[in-house]
Amino acid sequence: MKILVLNCGSSSIKYKLFEMESRQVLAQGGLEKINLPGSFLKITLPNGEKKILEREIKEHTAGVQFIFETLTHPEYGAVKSLDEINAVGHRVLHGGTKFSGSVLINDDVIRAVEECCDLGPLHNPANLKGIYAVQQLLPNVPQVAVFDTAFHQTMPEHAYLYPIPYEYYEKYGIRRYGFHGTSHRYVSKRVCEFLGIPVEGSRIITCHIGNGGSIAAVKDGKCIDTTMGLTPLEGLMMGTRCGDIDGGAILYLMKKEGLTPDQMSDILNKKSGVLGIFKRSSDMRELEDASARGEELAKRTEAMYFYRITKYIGAYAAAMGGVDVILFTGGVGENQATARWGACETLGFLGVKLDPERNKVRSKEAIISTDDSKVKVVVIPTDEELMIATDTMDILNGKL
């Protein structure tokens, strides 16, 4: 069975084509800068070589069409015909409270995702465009939606409600939803297999630290709290997002500078976080290099970034009455030893002891704590696309 996974962003489409029996990735790539000058498709060939294909792409249907063309390209295509694709799985950002698992896409599901556009204005419209494009180009192929919010639907009320007048929850669904759920679900399950421990009784803190970042407290395999909220803005300091901030500061700034909600949103989502403090870049590799050279701004930024991770790990250990495993994933979590060290440095009181040698690992499943560390600290590379493909296959086979 061949399954195509699409992750449609507002100006990008990432994709992976899987052969499910062998779990082999037949093709992968990403289209960037949709409806912007200089749009291009970057594909990775089976031999690992990368290829850039430039073409002006103005909207998502043309983007999906372009990806389909490369999938069947006589020279570097992965399939002879699109008929070989059995199903398409989509990452959908916001499923609201309607979905606690993945679903086969039909008109009702599309309507529900449309209704969540207000809650995920940057992502949901783009996710829908991807779904419409496949409907148009491959009308007979089943499609599955895998929601970023689904895994977090097990959070108890006391964790997901905001202490604002209850009527706003009732009227607009203003509550905490959480994101990166597909990743938190995958790594929290995978780490139990990796360590050979039962899911039941486990207390795991999963730190998905990428450009966007979130942490989840996973008890008995279920999420009981996570750092992102109504939108992916809450919680950790991120590449360009501020994370937790006093609502009062936002109101103050809007009044002082006469900012509209859209302008304020732009500042908090795109100009804050690492970029806001470090100024030069939102990329953690650049920050790490600058910090190693002793640059003050870089050190300040790192200190803020690591501190929030530490703080939430402490909070979630308290929320679960203890912690057995702390897990790092995402671009930063998988690769950056300095970030893992910075996040865990003061956690000795919890029984956390990192091994500096083991901590040097990159993009590989590994235990990075010492043998006598009470809490196991582990790196598990995430694979959101494989999870989406697996859910899609399970739904087609009637297993989900």
Ligand X SMILES: Nc1ncnc2c1ncn2[C@@H]1O[C@H](COP(=O)(O)OP(=O)(O)O)[C@@H](O)[C@H]1O
Which residues contact ligand UVW by CB under 6 A?
148, 179-180, 210-212, 232
Of ligand UVW, ligand X, Mg ion, none, which one sits near residue 178, judging by CB under 5 to 8 A according to partner kind? none
387 assigned ligand-binding residue: no
The alpha carbon of residue 127 and the mean position of all alpha carbons in its chain are separated, in whole angstroms, by 14
Amino acid identity at 155? M
Candidate segments 130-138, 186-194, 324-332, 348-356, binder of ligand X by CB under 6 A: 324-332
What's the first-to-final CA gap in the chain, in angstroms? 17
- Provide, rounded to whole angstroms, the least separation between the CB of residue 81 and ligand X: 31
The residues in 203-222 that bind ligand X, with binding defined as CB under 6 A, are: 210-212
* Closer CB to ligand X, 31 or 332, in the complex: 332
* Closer CB to ligand X, 263 or 363, in the complex: 363
The residues in 195-214 that bind Mg ion, with binding defined as CB under 5 A, are: 210
Angle, CA 156 vertex, CA 152 and CA 162 arms, to 5°: 90
294: number of Cβ within 10 Å: 8
* Closer CB to ligand UVW, 225 or 324, in the complex: 225
Say whether residue 285 binds ligand X (CB under 6 A): yes
Question: Which residues are CB-contacts of 65 (< 8 A; sequence separation ≥ 6)?
Answer: 133, 137
Angle, CA 213 vertex, CA 122 and CA 57 arms, to 5°: 35
Angle, CA 317 vertex, CA 325 and CA 360 arms, to 5°: 40
Active site residue 266: no
Q: Which listed residue (120, 239, 243, 276) binds ligand X by CB under 6 A?
A: 239
Q: Which listed residue (188, 240, 336, 373) binds ligand X by CB under 6 A?
A: 336
Say whether residue 331 binds ligand X (CB under 6 A): yes
Candidate segments 92-100, 122-130, 260-268, 329-337, binder of ligand X by CB under 6 A: 329-337
Of ligand X, ligand UVW, Mg ion, none, which one sits near residue 381, judging by CB under 5 to 8 A according to partner kind? none
Question: Which residues are CB-contacts of 283 (< 8 A; sequence separation ≥ 6)?
Answer: 239, 274
User: Strands across the sheet with 87-92, in order?
Assistant: 50-54, 40-44, 24-32, 12-19, 2-8, 87-92, 143-147, 103-104
**Size of the chain in residues:** 400
Active-site position among 148, 324, 383, 391: 148
**Please, what's the b/e burial string for 253-286 (b: 16 or more CB within 10 A of its CB; e: otherwise)?**
beeeeeeeeeeebebbbeebbbbbbbeeebbbee
Query: Under a CB-based contact definition with an 8 Å cutoff, are residues 144 and 102 in contact?
Result: yes
* Closer CB to ligand UVW, 92 or 192, in the complex: 92
* Closer CB to ligand UVW, 180 or 190, in the complex: 180
Contact positions vs Mg ion (CB under 5 A) = 210
Residues tagged active-site: 148
Positions that interact with ligand X (CB under 6 A): 210-212, 239, 283-285, 330-332, 335-336
